[in-house]
Amino acid sequence: MEKQIQQQLQSFLILTRKIKSYHEAIGLLHWDLRTGAPKKGVPTRSETLGMLSTEAFKLQTSDEMKAYLEQLSQPEVLEQLEDHDRRLVQECKKEYDRSQSVPPEKVQAYTVLTAKSETAWEDAKHQSDYAGFSPYLTEIVKLKQEFIDYWGVKDTRYDTLLDMYEPDLTVEKVDAVFARLKARLVPLQEKINASGNKPKTEFLQQMFDPKQQEKFSLFILEQMGYDFEAGRLDESVHPFATGLNPGDVRITTNYLQDDVTSAIFSSLHEGGHALYEQNIDESLAGTLLAEGTSMGIHESQSRLWENMIGRSLPFWTRYYQDLQQHFPQLSEVKLEDFYRAINRVESSLIRIEADELTYNLHIIIRYEIEKMLFNEGLAVKDLPETWNAKYKEYLGIMPTNDGEGVLQDVHWSGGDFGYFASYSLGNMYAAQMMHTLRKEMPELDSLIAAGNLIPIKAWLTDKIYRYGKSRTPSELILAVTGEELNPDYLADYLEAKYTEIYNL
């Protein structure tokens, strides 16, 4: 490599590390806001977040960045770079091209608004006060529409948002995949609804000590290989994971006194996110590639651990006695009854507590509403009515208040439009990856039943985690499974699982 190019590359890497440092500080402040920061500090904290985000944005779109990218993104120069350096240049160029026309003051206003909005959402959800939250959401959607104009409209306005979370994802592709999935899952759900072989669930409707829930969650996280020297578990209104760097990946859960399963599965879910970011290769640390490659791939890891491992019979063959020790009220409940209860299929209002089958309908509802907001002119004031109508249409039930309806998710309060499709994509990616994992590790169920989860983590690290963002989602799924994303693996998995549980 020529000396001049080497010097340019080193200067470029120093600049990207500075941007990454800003992102880490911003991430830490966001984590603090959602895990117990004093309410009176929210306005000033929001302004601080806005200022730091603007500084990072200015660096990403600076003349200095432009000069490095003009030099390093030339084809003959890219060929000389190491793989991860080439990928970093390409990622930064994509971000620069998309964002260089956005005024920094818009970024600052948006960041301040969403920081305040997330805090306002917590109160609004608790009080079921959509009217009080609506002004925040109206302004967020307005700014998001302005950003779409700056970024450049793709095939549709909503396509622009989808691409932020899943590169090259389009409405056309998502519509096709969801239609293919629905064609398999709706008949399966109808068979289950008609089955007389319903699981008993009344034993789950008891009071469960939150302190014991926390102890069990910590135990399970340790079993799956979560490194507590590189992370921590806290409580928040809505569970989430925050990856500051591979040595500091924090997660939260929420303990419901009358539901022992909620914290268990949200801990497994967020733990899956955390394992991904804790195990990114050290060579990527400090760079903008030290994160998940897309939200769909990220969700594949959380859903794989939460459902395909955490709701499996081999998993509870090993860990059910531990759960009974923490909660003696389950001591008379048989393992098979517990397993069937946690895998019951029924229409429910809350997405994060939905079963694996109907969960995808929760996602399709949100996806269709977001398309209506950005492509069809749906007004923010009409969201509750639209939400309730779609729940009636898809799940046959209606929320009794907006807290369990349109206000249940944190995502829109942070401006994360285009995100929700990633959850169902994650289910599809996960099923496809598990199919490959079973072929390469025939003893998988025996390992899980013995509580030996570390070989699974090692396989995932080798195939997925270590690459961070240095491979695209399509490159990754092709390398791991030998084919492009295929929704049939998810449908096959769900059909096999629920045919057995419901004796269809």
CA distance 342 to 334: 13
Q: What local confidence, expressed as pLDDT, does residue 1 receive?
A: 66
Residue 93 lies in a domain: yes
Q: Are residues 339 and 455 in the same domain?
A: yes
User: Is there a single domain that holds both residue 219 and residue 83?
Assistant: no
What number of CA atoms fall less than 13 Å from residue 8's CA on the CB side? Answer: 21
* 51 lies in some domain: yes
Pick from 78, 101, 124: which residue ends a domain?
Answer: 101
Report the pLDDT value the prediction gives residue 454, as an integer from 0 to 100: 97
Helix, strand, coil fractions of the chain, as percent rounded to 5 = 70, 5, 25
Rounded CA separation 74/77 (Å): 5
In a domain, 245, yes or no: yes
Q: Examine the domain organization and report whether 94 and 227 are in the same domain.
A: no
List CB contacts of 501: < 8 A, sequence separation 6 or more.
199, 340, 343
Can you list the residues of the chain whose pLDDT is less than 50? none
Q: Please say whether the beta carbons of 433 and 300 come within 8 A.
A: yes
> What are the residues whose beta carbons fall under 8 Å from the beta carbon of 272, sequence distance 6 or more?
301, 302, 303, 304, 305, 306
For residue 478, being part of any structural domain is answered with: no
Last residue of a domain, one of 101, 124, 141: 101
Examine the domain organization and report whether 315 and 447 are in the same domain: yes
391: in domain: no
Q: Which of 57, 78, 101 is the last residue of a domain?
A: 101
Q: Are 244 and 24 in contact (CB under 8 A)?
A: yes
| 79: in domain | yes
Looking at the fold, whether 326 and 457 belong to one and the same domain comes out as yes
pLDDT of residue 238: 85
The bridge status of strand 241-245 relative to strand 233-235 is unpaired
State both tokens at 136: 């925040």
What is residue 199's DSSP assignment?
P
Query: 331 and 222, same structural domain?
Result: yes
Same domain? For 97 and 220 the reply is: no
Q: Are residues 302 and 450 in the same domain?
A: yes
pLDDT of residue 266: 95
* pLDDT at residue 196 in the model: 87
Q: Is residue 463 part of a domain?
A: yes
Question: What domain range includes position 43?
Answer: 1-101
Q: In this structure, are 314 and 463 located in the same domain?
A: yes
Q: What is the pLDDT of residue 414?
A: 94
pLDDT in tens, 448-462: 999 999 999 999 999
Q: How many CA atoms lie within 13 A of 494 on its CB side?
A: 26
Domain-located, residue 269: yes
Based on the fold, state whether residues 94 and 215 are members of the same structural domain.
no
Residues annotated as catalytic are 270
- pLDDT reported for residue 353: 84
Tell me the sheet residues that pair with 245.
248
The three-class DSSP label of residue 253 is: strand
pLDDT of residue 3: 85
Residue 223 shares a structural domain with residue 337: yes
In sequence order, what are the residues at sequence separation of 6 or more whose Cβ sits closer than 8 angstroms to the Cβ of residue 463? Answer: 433, 479, 480
**pTM of the complete model:** 0.90
Question: Are residues 452 and 313 located together in one domain of the fold?
Answer: yes
The token pair that represents 238 in the structure block: 């809505």
How many structural domains is the chain composed of?
2
Tokens for 112, please give them: 């301040």
Known binding residues for Zn(2+) are 269, 273, 299
